[in-house]
Amino acid sequence: MQKKSIIYLLEMEKLYLKPCKKYMLYKKKNERQIGFYSTFEEQLKRQHPLYILANKIDWQVFEKAFGKLHSPEGRPAKPIRLMVSLLMLKHIRNLSDESVVEQWMENVYYQYFSGETSYACGVPCEASELVHFRNRIGESGIELIFKESIRINNKDGREDEGIVDTTVQEKSITFPTDDKLHRKIIKKCVAVAEEQGIELRQSYRCTIEKLAKDQRFRRHPKNFRKARKADRRIKSIAGRLVREMDRKLPASLYQTELTLFKRVLAQKRNDSNKIYSLHETSC
pLDDT for 198-232, tens place per residue? 888 888 888 888 888 887 777 777 788 888 888 88
Give the per-residue pLDDT at 262: 87
Nearest one of 105, 144, 149 to 127, comparing CA atoms: 105
Give the per-residue pLDDT at 154: 59
Within the chain, which residues score under 70 in pLDDT? 1-38, 154-177, 279-283
For 217, residues 6+ apart whose C-beta sits below 8 A from its C-beta are 223, 227
**CB contact at 8 A, 177 and 170:** no
Give the per-residue pLDDT at 160: 54
**CB contact at 8 A, 151 and 70:** no
Give the per-residue pLDDT at 63: 87
User: What's this model's pTM, rounded to 2 decimal places?
Assistant: 0.46
Give the per-residue pLDDT at 9: 55
Give the per-residue pLDDT at 11: 59
Give the per-residue pLDDT at 72: 76
Helix (H) or strand (E) holding 209: helix 205-216
Which amino acid is it at 201?
Answer: R
